Structure 1
Amino acid sequence: MTGRHRPTSPRPYGLLACMAAGALLVTGCGAFPGATGGSREPVTVMTWAPAGVAGPDAVNMAGMTAMARAYARWANGNGGLDGHELRVVTCDEEDTSIGAGNCARRAVKEKAVAVVGSYSRHGTAFMPPLEAAGIPYIGGYGASDEEFSSYTSYPVNGGQPALLAGNARQLARGCERVSVVRPDTLGGDGQAWLLRTGLTEAGRPAPADIRAAESATSYDGAAGAALQAAGAADGCVTAVLGKRTETFFDSFRRLEPSHGGGRVRISSVLGSVDQPLIDSTGGRNSPFEGAYITGWYPDAGDARWNTMRNVIREHAFGDNRIDPDDTGAQTTWIAYTVLKEIVEAVDSPRITAWKLTSALNGGTPADTGGLTPVLHWSFKDVLGSSAYPRIVNTRVTFQVVRDGRLVADRKGFMDVSKTLSDASAKS
């Protein structure tokens, strides 16, 4: 933070009218509150995510682009980013490599100085255009490997690797035997290895490795094998199957009553199970009641999310695509918080991609209000392992489903840097 006074005077009528017309975010409108004599140029960024994609395995993260727009309205109504109007361009990534590449090329065309708080599984398509243009990718969701290897990526969480390493440590606290149900793919092999590394580091036996088809409509066979391997009392089954995790636990619950010998605890990670899924499957009567869940951030009821919730309430205009309990919207909020911190640290009349990248690479800290550790991306700050060289946030949270809500299972963050490094070295 620069410590300078941020103008907080009411917005002029012209700006309100412009917002009502829907033009504020991309095109800008007249004088900007907080800018000194127009001396500070607008800052243009892009946020992309798939929206409206059809199909059983479709990924729809429209709440992330909607969160970006709400953030811009809030920021611009309070002086912008260090006096710069924030212009947000959004793009439907369509959950395809073509869509991801098109969004990246549009970011270059729009002269975006950063891509912020976005989601894509297609890093091989979107990262090369950003690298060629020198545009930093700040706070992606963590859905592609390139986010943790590209020199132009600045992740705010540890992605699925950190969640899996953390899930192993969470399971080790209360499970004598663990069954891991994961996709029968090369990526699934990596998942199993991370869980095995974390459990054995904690002095637990290696988990039973249950492979499952990614696109199955029933998982009775995998569920039966997982139950048998986990045993009964003090046994746990963890499943990381993305959108198919719900399908697996449907099969699991149908078989469990006939298993006998006591209740087996279930587990997963955020992204495969989240609060919206728990709500849609019955809340406190959900099959996920009592489940261990590993996340990146504090639970959704934590007071540290209050500012984000207020912004959604006051600036999203009832946009029901934004769920404050959704990890995607939370990641976008954190990414824009980082952008604000870095822009203020640069403190320049004109913000460029090069200036942001220089500040990020120089280790400029970004305080996210306790939602993550203070983040910085200098050479000495990154994990530097061969598999995950760009990870800087190796902290996760332990949560549990209680009375239909994800709540803290353990206070504070758990650092899984050792597990990530060991798994990378031994793989």
Structure 2
Amino acid sequence: MTGRRMTSLLACATAAAAGASLLTGCGMIPGVSGGSREPITVMTWAPDNTRATNMPGMPAMAQAWGRWINAGGGIDGHEVRVLSCNEENSSSGASACARRAVREGVDAVVGSYSQHGRSFMAPLEAAGIPYIGGYGLSEAEFSSHLSYPVNGGQAALIAGHGMQLGESCSRVSLVRPDTVAGDKLPTLLNSGLQRSSHRTAADIPAVEDAGEYTEKATEARRKAGRKKGCVTAVLGERTQTFFDSFRRLPESDDDEVRISSVLGSVGQPLVDRTGGSRSPFEGAYVTGWYPDASDPAWSPMLKVIKEHAFEDNRIDPADAGVQTTWIAYTVLKKVVENLDKDEITPLRIARALDQGAEIDTGGLTPPLRWRYEDMLGATDFPRIVNSEVTFQVVRQGRLVAQKPGFVDVGETVRSAP
């Protein structure tokens, strides 16, 4: 009997002494086989209650998924214990979440958000814990041998956004965080722009957590020009603050500047909060990873949210973070089912993924597989296996497809200097 199995049994014995209501973590909940297979422990982390980007919907989606899967008997007879952690948008917070994952003996970290890859990947690698379906902000997610990304990360979004803007904009201004991660965005955007033109974007670094952006907004509009110019801002949760400053700038009759961004900085929840069809984002270009929220492929997720989220207002099915968490847990479910083992370990999950387990996400992504030959091999992002994005636009207050289907930006990412 493994040490983890012994610990689990001791914990359940203690819970049994305290009362049956405490047995939900012991493989003894209704619908789950009574401990015939070992429970699985996973963790999802994301920042919450911070001054920068917050993604509370991701852990909330993970918890709802956990309730749904356990109500149906778990994954292949394994009850799933879903832990969450506030990453706090800091390297210390990311490191603390990773150390807690190691301490709790998790089998995988799934569907999480952090830009501090160096801080969280080292503890996970030391413990052999796979990182499945991160949001895609850090280089470590696309270089660590234990990371299994489900999208092309911000690299694919920005490169794809350049391609999208290159078809419609005469000049482009990029407002992006004045951070190490932000420093890479102009190169990626320009690689996309240059696929359809020889233009490069005006690079405008900005403080990530500023209270207003009037000075940067003025500079961005001036450098975009008035005729078919485009201003794109990629500032996470502060993107709304930037465009609030932008729309307060004095207008002129010949001003034709269009705004744009990528999912994660602008999404349906933000459009809804700012007025729907009367939102300042009406007409905005947006690049995403997945089909728009009205696509039938999201129906299984919507059903789980309706039946198991208990009106949790942190979960918005149109949010890219929530969607990424759903896809990441789809990967976990199918890998565990394919293993068909009484005991699931981090090593078994990682080995199954490395050896070519192919995951069908129901049309939300292309089939996912993480063999060496499936990876993009871009210099800074070698582990990208999904280099497809979607071009969307805000029409009548809804994010809808600008063009049908996916656009492969793999060559654009690979060719970025």
- CA shift at 1:181, angstroms? 2.1
Distance 1:269 1:31, change over 3 A: closer
Show CA shifts across 1:146-167 (max 9, x none): 1111111111111111110010
Distance 1:301 1:349, change over 3 A: same
Distance 1:323 1:332, change over 3 A: same
Show CA shifts across 1:180-238 (max 9, x none): 22234443331111111111122242223333343443333332332233223322121
Say whether residues 1:254 and 2:248 are aligned partners.
yes
- CA shift at 1:379, angstroms? 0.8
User: Is the 1:167–1:269 contact (alpha carbons within 8 Å) kept by the matching residues of 2?
Assistant: yes
- CA shift at 1:415, angstroms? 0.7
Distance 1:385 1:315, change over 3 A: same
Match of 1:321 in 2: 314
Say whether residues 1:243 and 2:242 are aligned partners.
no
Show CA shifts across 1:320-376 (max 9, x none): 221111111111111000001111111212111111111111111011111111111
Q: 2:305 aligns with which of 312, 317, 329?
A: 312
Matched residues in 2 for 1:179 and 1:143: separation? 21
Match of 1:116 in 2: 110
Distance 1:250 1:22, change over 3 A: farther
User: Is the 2:50–2:88 contact (alpha carbons within 8 Å) kept by the matching residues of 1?
Assistant: no
- CA shift at 1:73, angstroms? 1.4
User: Is the 1:384–1:390 contact (alpha carbons within 8 Å) kept by the matching residues of 2?
Assistant: yes
Distance 1:377 1:39, change over 3 A: same
Please give the residue correspondences for 1:259-298 in structure 2 after superposition, counting only pairs within 5 Å: 260-298=253-291
Q: 1:208 aligns with which of 202, 205, 216?
A: 202
Please give the residue correspondences for 1:13-412 in structure 2 after superposition, counting only pairs within 5 Å: 21=21, 24=24, 27-30=25-28, 33=31, 35=33, 38-51=35-48, 53-55=49-51, 57=52, 59-255=53-249, 257-258=251-252, 260-412=253-405
Distance 1:168 1:109, change over 3 A: same
Matched residues in 1 for 2:92 and 2:37: separation? 35
Matched residues in 2 for 1:97 and 1:184: separation? 17
What secondary structure does 1:88 align onto? strand
Distance 1:223 1:103, change over 3 A: closer
- CA shift at 1:309, angstroms? 0.9
- CA shift at 1:383, angstroms? 1.5
Distance 1:233 1:215, change over 3 A: same
Show CA shifts across 1:299-323 (max 9, x none): 1111111111111110111222211
Matched residues in 2 for 1:328 and 1:186: separation? 22
Report the identity percentage.
60
- CA shift at 1:64, angstroms? 1.2
- CA shift at 1:91, angstroms? 2.0
Matched residues in 1 for 2:55 and 2:237: separation? 13
Show CA shifts across 1:60-97 (max 9, x none): 22221111111111112223212221221222223332
User: Is the 2:23–2:29 contact (alpha carbons within 8 Å) kept by the matching residues of 1?
Assistant: no
Matched residues in 2 for 1:34 and 1:409: separation? 44
User: Is the 2:57–2:316 contact (alpha carbons within 8 Å) kept by the matching residues of 1?
Assistant: yes
Matched residues in 2 for 1:270 and 1:187: separation? 17
- The residue identity in structure 2 corresponding to 1:69 is Q
Structure 1 gaps, min length 5:
1-19
Match of 1:9 in 2: none
Matched residues in 2 for 1:54 and 1:74: separation? 29
Distance 1:219 1:103, change over 3 A: closer
Distance 1:81 1:29, change over 3 A: closer
User: Is the 1:396–1:413 contact (alpha carbons within 8 Å) kept by the matching residues of 2?
Assistant: yes
Runs of 4+ in 1 over 6 A off after TM superposition: none
- CA shift at 1:288, angstroms? 0.6
User: Is the 2:27–2:35 contact (alpha carbons within 8 Å) kept by the matching residues of 1?
Assistant: no
- The residue identity in structure 2 corresponding to 1:152 is L
Of the structure 1 ranges 195-204 and 376-385, higher mean CA displacement relative to structure 2 is found in 195-204
What secondary structure does 1:349 align onto? coil
- CA shift at 1:385, angstroms? 1.8
- CA shift at 1:388, angstroms? 0.6
Show CA shifts across 1:386-412 (max 9, x none): 211111111111111111111111111
Distance 1:154 1:311, change over 3 A: same
- The residue identity in structure 1 corresponding to 2:377 is G
